[in-house]
Structure 1
Amino acid sequence: MIANPQPYITREQYLEGEKNSLVKHEYIQGEVYAMAGASDAHITISLNIASTLRNHLRGKGCRVYMADMKADIEVLDIYYYPDVIVTCDPRDKQFQYFKQYPKLIVEVLSPGTEGFDRGKKFEDYRQLETLEEYVLIAQDRISVECFRKNSEGLWVLYPYISEPEIYLGSLDFRCPMTDLYEDVEFQVIT
């Protein structure tokens, strides 16, 4: 995210502005933040998980969105753009530009946003009453972290590093790690 020095704007002004904006912005309590572009690996991983989820959920009443659909955390006055968002809640059909009742949110980690995705953003997403899983996918190595809300309402970490597949309980979804990272070329740092 990049700070955008604008005066306070309302949720309605933000939503209207985003419809015609050439740059995506996230909205946090009246302030907007421009979003940076994504790397080849970031986009490839996002597409891989979104397409495998879409195939798995076809005909099950759930919708999978990638990159351009906002998550509305109304109680906090925040709109974020998750990399992938899945909703199975019929109430979300009424919203064309955002979703308020996601079951699953996926973020592909970038060097500039990893701390925010793990910290404040995850804290904010936990305010979504229907969210059952929050998934963080590394783009520089094979590593997936799934935070799953248990029956007591506590978030439990399920790390997938050396496992051959990941499991997302909220959607009864299994996916080989090789499918998530298909066509991703890791950059070697010398």
Structure 2
Amino acid sequence: MQIAMLRPLSGKEYLEGEERADIRHEYVAGQVYAMARAKLRHNQIAGNLYGLLWQKARGSHCQVLNSDMKVRVEAVDAFYYPDVVLRCGAPLSGDTLYLEDPCLIVEVSSASTANVDRREKLQAYQTLPSLQEYVLVDSEKIVVEAFRRHPEGWWYELLNDPESDRLRCQCVDLALSVEDIYAGVDLPSALPTD
């Protein structure tokens, strides 16, 4: 029997390895976690959000990026791959490997990712000074949760009515209907939940 001690990786080692890796990994405090492949519903929801945000951000000082762009959260020594991220400000170089100043982050959650998205990532992302909104979109039922930064702290909003609820994105002054977020998505149960 052989026992090997695994040492934590530095952020630099992680980034170098990630450039050569066949699959994506997230990095938290020296540990690397392989990411599972997304299902069709997940990709449809993320694509809907990306497209709607891209239309609004086009021609502005904002950039919408998909799940291939990492976000660095220095306060917790982490690199994550959000499903959709929006940043506004001066353009970045084309070789940029990660963002540090998003204003909106969206994670499309499933049963296997919901706990990490709702706990670990929520706490980590809230340390980003630039972040105004963190949005969780359920890939199995119509549930959108928005966490918004306000002077008094973070506020929470639950959206689950596709006919009347609208997700307001402060970064680009946009209101997205829940119906548009889930457009074309075949959910296991189309009924809203409490």
TM-score of the aligned structures, taking structure 2 as reference length = 0.88
**CA distance in 2 between partners of 1:126 and 1:166 (Å):** 19
**CA distance in 1 between partners of 2:6 and 2:51 (Å):** 36
Counterpart contact for 1:164–1:177, Cα < 8 Å: yes
Output one character per residue of 1:12-34: Cα deviation in whole Å (capped at 9) or x when no partner: 11111111211100001111000
Counterpart contact for 2:88–2:171, Cα < 8 Å: no
Question: Considering only CA atoms, is the larger Rg found in Structure 1 or Structure 2?
Answer: 2
The aligned residue for residue 192 of structure 2 is: none
1:110 positional shift: 1.1
1:6 positional shift: 5.0
1:174 positional shift: 1.2
The aligned residue for residue 61 of structure 1 is: 61
**CA distance in 2 between partners of 1:106 and 1:62 (Å):** 15
Number of aligned residue pairs: 182
**CA distance in 2 between partners of 1:75 and 1:157 (Å):** 22
Using the TM superposition, name which of 107-116 and 6-15 deviates more. 6-15
The aligned residue for residue 142 of structure 1 is: 142
What are the ranges of 5 or more consecutive residues in structure 1 without an aligned counterpart?
none
Counterpart contact for 2:147–2:156, Cα < 8 Å: yes
Output one character per residue of 1:50-80: Cα deviation in whole Å (capped at 9) or x when no partner: 1110001111110111111111011221101
TM-score of the aligned structures, taking structure 1 as reference length = 0.90
1:89 positional shift: 2.8
Q: Compute the RMSD of aligned alpha carbons.
A: 1.6
**CA distance in 1 between partners of 2:187 and 2:106 (Å):** 20
The aligned residue for residue 30 of structure 2 is: 30
Counterpart contact for 2:27–2:80, Cα < 8 Å: yes
Counterpart contact for 2:54–2:63, Cα < 8 Å: yes
What are the ranges of 5 or more consecutive residues in structure 2 without an aligned counterpart?
190-194
**CA distance in 2 between partners of 1:24 and 1:7 (Å):** 20
**CA distance in 2 between partners of 1:84 and 1:183 (Å):** 18
1:13 aligns with 2:13: yes
